[in-house]
Amino acid sequence: KNRGRLLISCLDQPGIISKISKFLFSHGANIIESNQYSINPHGGDFFIRIDFEAPDLIDKKETLMEDFQPIAETFSMTWELHLVSELKRMAIFASKDLNCLRELLWQWQNGDLMAEIPLVVSNHETARPLVEQLGIPFYYLPASKENRTEVEKKQLQLMSEYDIDVIVLARYMQILTPHFVASHPMKIINIHHSFLPAFVGARPYERAYQRGVKLIGATSHYVTNDLDEGPIIEQDTVRVDHRFDVDELKKMGGNIERNVLARAVKWHLQDRIIVHGNKTIVF
Amino acid sequence: KNRGRLLISCLDQPGIISKISKFLFSHGANIIESNQYSINPHGGDFFIRIDFEAPDLIDKKETLMEDFQPIAETFSMTWELHLVSELKRMAIFASKDLNCLRELLWQWQNGDLMAEIPLVVSNHETARPLVEQLGIPFYYLPASKENRTEVEKKQLQLMSEYDIDVIVLARYMQILTPHFVASHPMKIINIHHSFLPAFVGARPYERAYQRGVKLIGATSHYVTNDLDEGPIIEQDTVRVDHRFDVDELKKMGGNIERNVLARAVKWHLQDRIIVHGNKTIVF
Amino acid sequence: KNRGRLLISCLDQPGIISKISKFLFSHGANIIESNQYSINPHGGDFFIRIDFEAPDLIDKKETLMEDFQPIAETFSMTWELHLVSELKRMAIFASKDLNCLRELLWQWQNGDLMAEIPLVVSNHETARPLVEQLGIPFYYLPASKENRTEVEKKQLQLMSEYDIDVIVLARYMQILTPHFVASHPMKIINIHHSFLPAFVGARPYERAYQRGVKLIGATSHYVTNDLDEGPIIEQDTVRVDHRFDVDELKKMGGNIERNVLARAVKWHLQDRIIVHGNKTIVF
Amino acid sequence: KNRGRLLISCLDQPGIISKISKFLFSHGANIIESNQYSINPHGGDFFIRIDFEAPDLIDKKETLMEDFQPIAETFSMTWELHLVSELKRMAIFASKDLNCLRELLWQWQNGDLMAEIPLVVSNHETARPLVEQLGIPFYYLPASKENRTEVEKKQLQLMSEYDIDVIVLARYMQILTPHFVASHPMKIINIHHSFLPAFVGARPYERAYQRGVKLIGATSHYVTNDLDEGPIIEQDTVRVDHRFDVDELKKMGGNIERNVLARAVKWHLQDRIIVHGNKTIVF
C-alpha cells in the first residue's frame, strides 16, 4: 500500500500544522486520519499523528525524509516516518505460561497484528511446538539470575542478526539488565499481571487475593530500568468476587493479560503511540 | 476565553487541511487539539474538528467567518464556528421521572455542562421545586396526544422567545411532531431507556425483563421523525441478573440513562459531534 | 473427586430447603456452595443449586437418586444430580470462522472447560488440522438448505454414537430443524454475533454499522425453534467508534463472541444454569 | 414487612444448613433467597446469608433469637438477625466536596437506600443548605489535626445520642483516631478516590496523573486503624486518556466515587456483607 504515518512531537507554537500539511500536500499526499493534541498551547508540548496516502510512497520515502528535515529542524521536532508496507520485525520472548504468546500468534495469523515475527525466544522448551508449527524459528536460551549477562549477549546478537524492531515480553518472567533495555529504548513491551501501580513486582495475584480486591487487572507498558515503572500503554480490569481463589484469579487475569498485551502491541505496530516522559499519548 | 472550535465536513480531496491550517495560522490562531477522519480517501467524506486559541477572538469572529467563506466554497464545506465564550442556550424538557433532569442540573451547577439553561418545560408539576430553587424559569405545559399541536405551538414560541440552541428531552415521554422536529434539526437530544435498536418504542424495561437479557442499556440520540431511529450519540450497558425484577431493572437503568444523557449533552455542548447521514462522528 | 451438584426447581413453599439439607446431611454430604432464589415467595417458583461433597459419591449415586425421589415427588420438583467426576460429553459444530472453536479448544486444553470433546463436526474442511492435531475426530458434513434433513440424520447418528450430552454451535451458521432441536432440548448452545434482541438474524455487523451503534455485542443462548429467541445465558458488549468499518466491527466482535461463548459453555458444564420458561437462572 | 435476614459465619462442618433451615421452617419462616459459601469444606470457614419471610416477624423476633442461641452455640457461630422493617440509622460525615453526599441523599429520597438519616456531620458549612432542606439536622464541627480528640468526643456523643448504626464517610477527608474506629467496628464505610491498593493516602488523582494510568478508580471499604487498608466492599474503574488533566481526572473519578460508595452503602443496608479477616464476602 501507499500509506504512511508521521509521528511528531515538539514544543507547541503557532504554524506547525500549517507547515506540515503544506509539506504533505506539496508532495502529493492525502491525509486520511490525523490526531493532534497539545498539553498547553502556551509553550507546552505538541503531538501529532498523521495517517496519509501518497502515490509511489515507497520510492518517494527518501525524498520525503530529506525534504522534511528542514521543517523538523525549524521546530526542533522529534519525528518518525513509517510506511505501512514496511512491516515491523517483532521478536517475542516467552516462558512457560503460553497464554499471551498464543494470543499474539493467533491474532498474527488472523492478520490482526501486521508485523513479521522472525523468531521467538524462551527460557523453557514449552512453546517450541506451538512456535515451530507456524514455521517461526524458536530459540531456547535458559536464563536465570546467574547467567543473565551471558544469555543477554546471545539474545542481543539474535536481535541484531534478525534486525528486530520491537521486542514483546509475553510473560517472559526474567528481569532485563539496563544494558539490554538501553539497546532498545521504548521498543520493549511488557505485560504485568496487575493493575499498576497496584502490586508492583512478584506474585501480584497472590497479593490481590490477600488484599481482597474486587477487580483484578493487567498493564502493558514499555520497559525501562525501573521495574514495572515504564510508560503505561494500556490497562484493563475485570470483576472478581469472594469465591475466586488464587488459581481462579490467575485464570480470570490471564484473559485480561492477553487482551491488554495484544491491544498494546497492535497500537505500537500501527504507530499510534508517542512516548512523552513517563507517559504515553495513544492516538 | 479566546477559544474557538471549527467543525467541518466535505468530500475528501488533497489539500484541505493545508488550506484550513494556513488560514488559521494567518489569523493568529494556535491549534490546541485537532481530530480528522476520512471515511474513504478516494472521494469519501472528510470530517475535522479543530479546537484553537486566538487573541481577541470575540472581536475577530465576524472577520474570521467572512475570510473563511471562500475556502468553504472551494471545497463545498458544511461548517460551523463556535466560540467557547458564547454559551449555548439549552432548554430541558422533563416529565415526572426527575432522574435525568437532576443529573443535568447537578452537572451544570458543578460547571461540567457549559451552557445557559434559560428554562425547563414539563407536562407535570413534579420538577417545579427542583428547577425554581436554582432560579430557572419553569413552564408547566400539560401535553397529551389530544392537545399536541396547541402545546407545541406554545413550546416553539418559548424556544424562540428564549433563543434556544439545543433542546434536551430528559425522559420527556411525549412524541414530537415532524413540525417541531423540523424546527430544530439535529438540535434535539433524547435519551431512550434501552440499548437501541433493541426495544424500540414503549416499555423497554418490561420487554427486557420478558426477554431475559443479561445486560440493560440506554441510548442518547438526536431526534428525527422516525421514532428512536435518529443518529446515536452515546450508548452504555450494565450487567443485571435473574434476581432483578422490572422495578430493579428501572432503578439500575436509571443510573445508566442519566450518565449516557449527560455525556451526550456534554459532547454536544463541546461541539464534538458531527452528524453524517444517520450516524455521528464524535471527536 | 467426590463432588456433586444438585439442581432443583419447583413451586415455592415452606420447608423445601430444610428437607433437602436434612437429606444431604443424612447421606453424609457436606454443602460447599449453595445458591437459592425464589421469584415470589407466595406461590412463585423456587430454584436452588447445591454444590456438595460426599465420601464415595460415585458408588452412592444410585442410592442417593433413589432416596431423593420421594422428596422430589412431594414438592413436584424438576431436578438433576450431576457428579463432577462424570465429565459431560460435548460436541462442537463449526464452520469456516474458527475464532470461537479455537477459544473453546484452547480453554479445554488449559483445563478451564471440564468436558470430554469426542468430536467436532463442520460443514467445511477448514478446521480439520486444528482439531485433528489435538487427537479429536473431525467429521466433515457439508450442509446446506438442500440437504439439511439428510445431513441432520447423520449428525444425530453421530451424537447418539458418541453419547453426546451437549452441543456447542461455535459459529456453525446453519439453521437446525425442529426435529434436531427437539432431540437435545436446552442442550444446544449457540453464539449470536449481536447483542440480542438487537439485530436478530443475518448479517448483524453490517446492520450495526448501518445503524451507527456505539457498542457491539454478542449473545450466547440455548437453541429453540424460534431463531435467536432461545433463553439467553450470557451477553457482553464492547465500545466502538465512527472509525470502525464492518471488517473492524467483525474483528472487535469476534473477541467478544469467543469470550461470551466460552463463559456460557463453562457455566453449562459447571451445572450453573437452570432454564425457566424463556429465561435462565445462572447461579 | 415481615422480612428478616440471617447472617452467619462459623467453621464449616456437615449439617449446619440442615440445622438452620429446620429451625426456620419450624418457626414458620419461608426462605426467599439464600447464598452460602465455604472457603474450604474440610475445616474452612462457612458463610451464609438467608433472606426469609415469616408472619408476625416483629413480635416473634425475641423468641427467634432466643431459640436460635443454642444452635449458634453448637457451631460457635458469629451471627446477626436483622429485620427489614427496622431501618438502620445512618450518619453521614461530609466535607466540602458534596458529590458523594448528594448521591447518597438523592438515592435515599428515591427509596433506593433503605435507612434513616438522623444527622449529617461536617467540618465545613458547605453542605448545610442541601441537608437542611431535606429536614435532616446538620452539625458543623470544624475538625483539624489539632482539635481531633475534642471534636471526636462531640461526634461520638452525637452518634450515641442519635443511636447510630452505621457511619458513612462521604469524602470526609479527616483521619479518625483508633478510639473512634474502635467504637464502631466494621460499621464505618469510607470511599477512597483510587483503585486500592494503588495510590494509598493523599492526592491520588495527582499521582494517577503523574503515573500516566489509563484507568482511574474508586474503592469503598470499612475503616480500620490502617489507613486505606480496611476490608474492601466495592471497587470500580473508568477509562481515561492522555487528554485528561488532573481536574478532568477528578471530575471523571467523582462519578465513579459516588456510584461505588452508593453501592457499598446499599449492600451494607441490605445486610449483604460479611467481614472475614481483612476481606468481605458480598452475597
Q: Quick one: pLDDT at residue A134?
A: 95
D221, burial (CB in 10 Å: exposed 0-12, middle 13-18, buried 19+): buried
Q: Is D279 within 8 Å of D231 (Cβ atoms)?
A: yes
Quick check: D116 pLDDT over 90?
yes
Q: Quick one: pLDDT at residue D62?
A: 96
pLDDT in tens, A247-265: 999 999 999 999 999 999 9
Q: Quick one: pLDDT at residue D48?
A: 97
List D12, D51, D165, D228, catalytic entry: D228
Using the 8-state DSSP alphabet, how is residue B264 labeled? Answer: H
Which region holds residue D186: left if phi is over 0, alpha if psi is between -120 and 50, else beta? left
pLDDT in tens, B44-58: 999 999 999 999 999
pLDDT, mean of residues D105-124: 96
Cis check for the bond before A197: say yes or no (omega within 30 of 0). yes
Q: Quick one: pLDDT at residue A1?
A: 82
Q: Residue B217 and residue C215: Cβ atoms within 8 Å? A: yes
Q: pLDDT tier at C281 (50, 70, 90 boundaries)?
A: very high
**Count of CB pairs separated by less than 8 Å, B with D:** 12
Q: Quick one: pLDDT at residue D47?
A: 97
Nearest-angstrom CA–CA distance, B146 and C181: 50
pLDDT in tens, D73-109: 999 999 999 999 999 999 999 999 999 999 999 999 9
Mean pLDDT of chain C: 95
Quick check: A43 pLDDT over 90?
no
pLDDT, mean of residues D214-218: 97
pLDDT in tens, A214-223: 999 999 999 9
Q: Residue D215 and residue A232: Cβ atoms within 8 Å? A: no
- Asked if D259 is an interface residue toward chain B (Cβ–Cβ < 8 A), one would say yes
What is the distance in angstroms between the Cα of A209 and the nearest Cα belonging to chain D? 9
C264: amino acid identity, one letter: A
Nearest-angstrom CA–CA distance, A98 and A104: 10
Nearest-angstrom CA–CA distance, C28 and D210: 58
Q: Quick one: pLDDT at residue A227?
A: 84
pLDDT, mean of residues C27-53: 92
The number of angstroms, rounded, from the C-alpha of A125 to the middle of its chain's C-alpha atoms is 25
Quick check: C31 pLDDT over 90?
yes
Q: Which residue of D has its CA nearest to C32?
A: D38
Quick check: A204 pLDDT over 80?
yes
| Strand B88-94 relative to strand B115-122, pairing | parallel
**C-alpha dist (Å) from residue D68 to A170, D13, D73:** 55, 18, 9
Nearest-angstrom CA–CA distance, C62 and B101: 62
Q: Quick one: pLDDT at residue B40?
A: 79
Q: Which of A198, A231, A243 sits opposite D212 (nearest CB)?
A: A231
Picking from A207, A215, A247, A198, the residue whose alpha carbon sits closest to that of residue D278 is: A207
Q: Which residue of A has its CA nearest to B17?
A: A21
pLDDT, mean of residues D9-22: 93
pLDDT in tens, A127-182: 999 999 999 999 999 988 889 999 999 999 999 999 999 999 999 989 999 999 99
Q: pLDDT tier at D170 (50, 70, 90 boundaries)?
A: very high
Mean pLDDT of chain D: 95
Quick check: C177 pLDDT over 80?
yes
Mean pLDDT of chain A: 95
Nearest-angstrom CA–CA distance, D280 and D275: 5
The number of angstroms, rounded, from the C-alpha of A40 to the middle of its chain's C-alpha atoms is 26
Q: Which of A215, A217, A243 sits opposite D37 (nearest CB)?
A: A243
Picking from D240, D13, D263, the residue whose alpha carbon sits closest to that of residue D113 is: D263
Q: Residue A25 and residue B38: Cβ atoms within 8 Å? A: no
The number of angstroms, rounded, from the C-alpha of A47 to the middle of its chain's C-alpha atoms is 18
**Count of CB pairs separated by less than 8 Å, A with C:** 12
Cell match 495527582: residue? D206
Q: What is the ipTM of this complex?
A: 0.93
- Asked if C13 is an interface residue toward chain D (Cβ–Cβ < 8 A), one would say yes
Q: Write the CATH number of the domain with boundaries B88-282.
A: 3.40.50.170
Q: Please say if A228 is a catalytic residue.
A: yes
Q: Which of D17, D31, D41 sits opposite C53 (nearest CB)?
A: D41
Q: Quick one: pLDDT at residue B143?
A: 87
Using the 8-state DSSP alphabet, how is residue A202 labeled? Answer: S
Nearest-angstrom CA–CA distance, D80 and D107: 26
**C-alpha dist (Å) from residue B183 to B152, B179, B180, D9, D106:** 11, 6, 5, 64, 35
Q: Is C191 within 8 Å of C218 (Cβ atoms)?
A: yes
Quick check: C89 pLDDT over 80?
yes
Q: CATH classification of C3-83 is 3.30.70.260, yes or no?
A: yes
pLDDT in tens, D231-244: 999 999 999 999 99
Nearest-angstrom CA–CA distance, A44 and B66: 31
pLDDT, mean of residues D29-36: 94
Q: How many CB atoms lie within 10 A of CB C280?
A: 26
Counting DSSP H helices and E strands in chain B, the numbers are: 8, 13
Q: Is A34 within 8 Å of A6 (Cβ atoms)?
A: no
Report domain extents, chain D. Answer: 3-83, 88-282
Residues (pLDDT < 50) of chain B are none
The answer to which of B74-83, C94-103, C144-153 has the lowest mean pLDDT is: C144-153
Q: Quick one: pLDDT at residue B144?
A: 84
pLDDT in tens, C188-238: 999 999 999 999 999 999 999 999 999 999 999 999 998 899 999 999 999
Q: Do domains C3-83 and C88-282 have the same CATH topology?
A: no
List A59, A228, A236, A241, catalytic entry: A228
Q: pLDDT tier at A42 (50, 70, 90 boundaries)?
A: confident
Q: Quick one: pLDDT at residue D4?
A: 97
Quick check: C142 pLDDT over 80?
yes
Nearest-angstrom CA–CA distance, A261 and A267: 10
List B12, B51, B97, B228, catalytic entry: B228
Q: Residue D22 and residue C25: Cβ atoms within 8 Å? A: no
Cell match 543477554: residue? A152
Q: Cα–Cα–Cα angle for A263, B237, C240, nearest 5°? A: 35
Using the 8-state DSSP alphabet, how is residue A223 labeled? Answer: -
Nearest-angstrom CA–CA distance, A228 and A201: 7
